[in-house]
Chain A
Amino acid sequence: MTATSVIPAVRRTRWGVGSLPPVTVTIALVILAGVIVMVLFPGIAPLDPDRIDAAAALQGPSAAHWLGTDELGRDVLSRVIAGARTAFLAPLGLATGIVALSLTIGLIAGYAGGWVDTFIGRIVDVLYAVPALLVAIVVVGVTGGGFVMAIVILTIFGLPSSTRLFRAAAMERVRLPYIEAARTVGTSPVRILFTQMLPTLRPLIVATLFLQFTYGLIEVSTLSFLGLGVPPGASDWGRMMFENRASISANAWATIAPGVLLVLLAVSTNVVGDWLYNRYEAKERQR
């Protein structure tokens, strides 16, 4: 009587629907960890990155210089390791600034609504219309302003997209009964934003942070590749690619190594951000 009919379940990947394979995530985590080690322990560099040795200029890879040397005979490997510092810290600062500001502004706009929202919305629209990188190139190029100015400009003009994101999230939540209940009980708006809304936004914040890091990394490197922002001679990946371009036929590694590292770091942060977002989301959905 009990014949069996089994419906074949649609094949899902072992690690869940739409998620990345664990191998990819592991590789990305290792790369990210490697860059962080270079940032925290610049001492692992075999030589002083700024030591000039004219005698050893423009050498290919050797036992003494694994990635060869540049025009001034500086060790490329040591310079790449030292360059991790700006490559990592500048986008980190940029992303943190953008998330902190856009979160505050977005939540206020979404929660308050009305003219506050309209006012903020117009400013955001204006900022959106302006390409951040172009402004940074022009302003830093004309004024000769330094690294800090570049970061500030990129932060301000990088605000629109994430501000809109957080505003939408706040608007969605402000209608939910638990927020209305907090209002009815008499909780102050500031407290509602911080204690009721912020915790539910964690996945979004993590995702935005990593996404903005990647954008920031590319923008900052573009600037230094154009010779803006970081001072000449500094060990910075973008700057190294710019300076060693001319000697690419003598030692290609001096240009390729920082470029490859840039790409790897950008992809890795994207992958890790994606992975963290999925994990948070899954946890949130279980609730």
Chain B
Amino acid sequence: MTTAITMTTTTTTTIAPPALEVRGLTVTAQRDGHPVPITEDLDLTVAPGEAVAIVGESGSGKSVTAKALMRLLPMGLTVDGAVHLGGRDTTGFTERRMRRLRGTEISMVMQDPFTMLNPMETCGAQLAVTLTGPDGRRLSGARRREEVVRRLAEVGITDPAVADKYPFELSGGMRQRVGIAAAISRNPRVIIADEPTTALDVTTQKEILDLLNSLRTTHRIAVVLITHDLGVAFSLCDRVYVMYAGQIVETADASTLMDQPKHPYTASLLAADPPIDRRVEKLASIPGSVPPPGRRPAACRFAPRCEWAVDACRERPIELLQVGEDHAARCIRFAEIGDGLQALAMARRDQPHTGSLAVPAAPVITTRDARRVYGEKVAVAGATIEVRRGESVGIVGESGSGKTTLARMLVGLTLPSSGSVQVGGVELSSRLSRADRDRVRSTVQMAFQDPSSTLNPSRSVGSTLREALRLVSLEKLDERTAELLELVGLPPDYAKRMPAQLSGGERQRVAIARGLARDPDVLVCDEVVSALDVSVQAHILNLLRDLQTKLGIGYVFITHDLAVVRQITDRVYVMRRGEIVESGPTDQVLDEPRDDYTRSLLASVPSH
């Protein structure tokens, strides 16, 4: 691979050594006494002030790579290869010496702003820990304070009072800023940001990305962004490395990668990302899922999922090939299939807008001024919504907007403090007759967000589904379980499996199947795709749409993702701080938003 140095953000043209240079980085785990490679032979170069992204789905090895660069791997993992920091080879450095480099040469921003800071200490105290004078001594109290305030200002926190606050008193975005301030406090050359915005709302995400971007100019820091989100990668980075199953499969500068992907995986990923500006007929998806370490194919890792794979792809390991200027791909067929890949990647932009359905039908769920308070806190401040038969309604908002509480009220998991919720003509309350309760249950069902806890870990898929089916009737349970699995695209023998044996996407399918067991009119989906990888997300969205045509079922889709809203809903409610600020047909709301908040949400979405 070439060591191109692209300095887009600075005017100086002196050829400095790369801030970070990695050669042949391999991380190996020991499993039952055998070495199992997690990432293999990774090469990476980042110039000062440059931002590169490592993009991959879960299981690609991107987070392990980040930790290996810091030499902060969990025990039992070994690293091979060379890591050069600012031209200095750190190979063979002792832990002691490495520790001196962390913070001063290379530093890290973590994913979860909620656990990254110590809850027992003020933000100022945590920032001051790393601060020393030019002579290496601790600073005096007043000087330290001054310095902390200056550091906070650097990351856009102009209120000095924040230094005296505890992390839990701050929002997620503020915490992430404090985390960044701590990471850059000793002027490192390289900052590794591991999914820094994944836990944040879309508007906050944009602010953090802008901040990271500005550090490249102000501090000449090289940024290595680890992310699963192509949009985030393209919005910040000059160069992108795409990882799949432990290998880099393609690398190029961002615009080239976007327009002319040379690896089928990159093209498929681009195609699978739902567009925000139009509703497409069918989302492209990649069959199968990422193979875990130890079960990866010896030849081309992507071949089993690749529609272009030929026999040669399955014979021997594929090298990273030079396919253009500063552009490498791990595909032997790049020349032949290049046009096809480009068409696939572009299809997303060229597919016509299909428009959403208009369904004039009777309402199934209505709420009137439904309000829910928890003590002092108002979760939902009077929501009036309507869900009609067969239509799909989106409820959009950031965390804390009350959208999940509203969803729970629709299925009766939470009762309104005041106002009313009617489901299938039944007014929800704590005292419902058996017949009324049955009516509610067979009208509305729910699918939950987290694929890891949506199924009981100690019960098989079949027993979970039978549990729901037996409430309708006790006849032919096994047969109906098989039918239900088939409906969500899973083979009938999955009934015998335990949740741990399923991938995240498969678990979400089972969760949807459970929701369908009572044949409801409306399925409430609470962020069902937000924890899934892009390619799997497309599978589930396509499945939900198919079910809508097949069963005539309606959805209430709770999400923070506007692109998902565009793909699946007919009407949308936008929530902010417990209130509905805007509602209407999805296309109208997303194309001509009337509320400022909706506008800012739309403007913050990173897109490609």
B120 within 8 A of A: no
Asked if A199 meets B458 with Cβ closer than 8 Å, knowing A2-B81, A183-B413, the reply is yes
> Is B454 within 8 A of A181, CB to CB?
yes
| Interface membership of A128, Cβ < 8 A | no
Which B residue's beta carbon lies closest to that of A10?
A: B75
B458 and A3 contact, CB distance less than 8 A: no
Cross-chain contact B71 with A7 (CB below 8 angstroms): yes
Determine whether A13 belongs to the interface, using a CB cutoff of 8 Å to chain B. no
A16 interface residue, CB < 8 Å from B? no
Closest CB-CB distance, A225 to chain B, in whole Å? 42
- Report the tally of A-B residue pairs with Cβ distances under 8 A: 105
User: Would you call A6 and B413 a contact (CB within 8 A)?
Assistant: no
- CB atoms of A3 and B82 under 8 A apart: yes
B24's contact among A2, A178, A179, A184, by CB below 8 Å, is which?
Answer: A2
Let me know if B458 and A202 touch, CB within 8 A.
yes
Cβ proximity bits B1-43 to A, threshold 8 Å, 1 near / 0 not:
0000000000000000000000110000010000000000000
Does B581 make an interface contact (CB < 8 A)? no
Which residue of chain B is the closest to A180 with respect to CB atoms?
A: B413
Give the shortest distance, in Å, between B163 (CB) and chain A (any CB). 35
B514 neighbours in A (Cβ, 8 Å): 181, 185
Which interface residue of A178, A179, A185 has the most chain B CB atoms within 10 A?
A185
The residue among A2, A187, A196, A202 with the most chain B CB atoms within 10 A of its own CB is A2
A195 touches B467 (CB 8 A): yes
**Interface contact A9-B75, CB-CB below 8 Å:** yes
Q: Does A249 contact B (CB under 8 A)?
A: no
Q: Is the CB of A177 within 8 A of B454?
A: yes
Q: Evaluate contact between A200 and B441: CB separation under 8 angstroms.
A: no
Q: Say yes or no: A187-B73 contact (C-beta < 8 A), given A7-B79, A287-B499.
A: no
Name the CB-closest residue of B to A188. B471
Determine the distance from Cα of A185 to Cα of B77 in the docked complex, in whole angstroms. 44
Answer whether A185 and B445 are a contact pair too, CB < 8 Å, given A2-B24, A5-B91, A7-B78: yes
Q: What 0/1 readout, one digit per residue, does chain B (496-513) give for beta carbons within 8 Å of chain A?
A: 001110000000000100
Q: Which residue of A lies closest to B454 (CB)?
A: A177
Cβ contact of B77, chosen from A7, A177, A196, A202, cutoff 8 A = A7
- Interface flags for B61-90 (1: CB within 8 Å of A; 0: not) read 000000000010101111111100000010
CA distance A182 to B448 in the complex (A): 12
Taking the complex as formed, is A62 at the interface, i.e. its CB lies under 8 A from any CB of chain B? no
Contact of A287 (CB < 8 Å), options: B78, B81, B457: B457
Contact check: which of A179, A185, A286, A287 meets B471 at CB < 8 Å?
Answer: A185
Name the distance in Å between A153's Cβ and chain B's nearest Cβ: 35
A183 vs B463: C-alpha distance when bound (angstroms): 15
Interface size grouping (class) on chain A: 20 to 34
Q: Nearest Cβ in chain A — how far from B415, in angstroms?
A: 13
Q: In the complex, how many residues of chain B place their beta carbon closer than 8 angstroms to a beta carbon of chain A? A: 49
A178–B441 touching, CB < 8 Å: no
Give the residue among A1, A4, A177, A187 with the most B Cβ atoms within 10 A. A177
The answer to whether B411 has its CB under 8 Å from any CB of chain A is yes
Q: Does A122 contact B (CB under 8 A)?
A: no
Q: Is the interface of A mostly helix, strand, loop or mixed?
A: helix
Q: Are B445 and A2 in contact (CB under 8 A)?
A: no
- Chain B, residues 379-404, CB within 8 Å of chain A (1/0): the string is 00000000000000000000000000
Closest Cβ neighbor of B437 among chain A residues = A186
List which B424-466 residues lie within 8 A (CB) of chain A.
Answer: 437-438, 441, 445-450, 453-459, 463-464
Known: A185-B514, A186-B438. A180 touches B448 (CB 8 A): yes
Contact of B80 (CB < 8 Å), options: A4, A177, A183: A4
Q: Is A284 an interface residue when CB atoms closer than 8 A count as contact?
A: yes
If A3-B82, A3-B91, A287-B498 touch, whether A178 touches B76 (CB-CB below 8 Å) is no
In the complex, what residues of B have CB within 8 A of residue A177's CB?
448-450, 453-454
Residues 85 to 107 of chain B near chain A (Cβ within 8 Å): 89, 91-93
Q: Which of B73, B82, B467, B500 contacts A185 (CB 8 A)?
A: B467
Contact of B441 among A2, A185, A199, A286 (CB under 8 A): A185
> Which residues on the B side are within 8 Å of A2 (C-beta)?
23-24, 80-82
In the docked arrangement, what's the CA distance between A196 and B464, Å? Answer: 9
Q: A184-B411, A185-B445, A286-B500 are in contact. Are A6 and B468 (CB under 8 A)?
A: no
Closest beta carbon of chain B to A201's beta carbon, Å: 9
Residue B518 CB within 8 A of the other chain: yes
Q: How far is the CA of A30 from the CA of B75 in the complex (A)?
A: 35
Give A177 to B455 CA distance when docked, in angstroms: 7
- How many angstroms from the CA of A1 to the CA of B76 in the assembled complex? 24
A176 at the interface (CB under 8 A from B): yes
Query: What residues of chain B lie closer than 8 Å to A176, measured between beta carbons?
Result: 453
Decide if B517 is an interface residue (CB 8 Å cutoff).
yes
Distance (Å) between the CB of B74 and the closest chain A CB?
9
Measured CB to CB, the nearest residue on chain B to A179 is B456
Closest 8 CB pairs of A and B: A177-B448, A287-B500, A199-B458, A186-B441, A287-B457, A185-B468, A10-B75, A3-B91
Identify 15 new A-B residue pairs, CB closer than 8 A, beyond the known A178-B455, A200-B456: A1-B24, A5-B80, A5-B93, A9-B76, A176-B453, A177-B449, A178-B453, A180-B448, A184-B413, A184-B445, A185-B517, A185-B518, A187-B467, A196-B456, A200-B457
Sample 21 A-B pairs with CB under 8 A, ordered by A number: A2-B23, A2-B24, A2-B81, A2-B82, A3-B82, A5-B80, A5-B92, A7-B71, A9-B76, A177-B450, A177-B453, A181-B454, A183-B413, A184-B412, A185-B441, A185-B445, A186-B438, A186-B468, A199-B456, A287-B498, A287-B500
